[in-house]
């Protein structure tokens, strides 16, 4: 029965590879440019990147927040 298992596995692999080979790919230069533009667009709203003033960051204060 091991031969039939191998055939089934081999056939699944071929099917999977056929699907992957048919994939529509774009150039790395275009993909990289898109990643960069996303970073640039959102850089200003990234607190870990640009830093927020201590008063606005709930974690940066020395005393715990007391919400009355």
Q: What is the binding site for another protein (CB under 8 A)?
A: 3-4, 6-8, 10-11, 13-14, 16-21, 23, 25-36, 38-43, 45-49, 52, 57-60, 64-65
Min dist CB 45 to another protein, Å, is 7
Report d(CA 21, CA 12) in Å as an integer.
Answer: 14
Measured from the CB of residue 33, what is the shortest distance to another protein in angstroms? 6
Nearest-angstrom CA–CA distance, 18 and 49: 42
> Measured between alpha carbons, how far is 67 from 12 in angstroms, rounded to an integer?
59
Query: Rounded to the nearest whole angstrom, what is the least distance from the CB of residue 2 to another protein in the complex?
Result: 11
């Amino acid at each position: 029965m091991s031969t039939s298992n191998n055939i089934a596995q081999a056939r699944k692999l071929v099917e999977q590879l056929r699907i992957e080979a048919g994939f529509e790919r774009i150039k790395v230069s275009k993909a990289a440019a898109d990643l960069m533009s996303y970073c640039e667009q959102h850089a200003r709203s990234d607190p870990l990147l640009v830093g927020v003033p201590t008063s606005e960051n709930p974690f940066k204060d020395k005393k715990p927040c007391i919400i009355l």
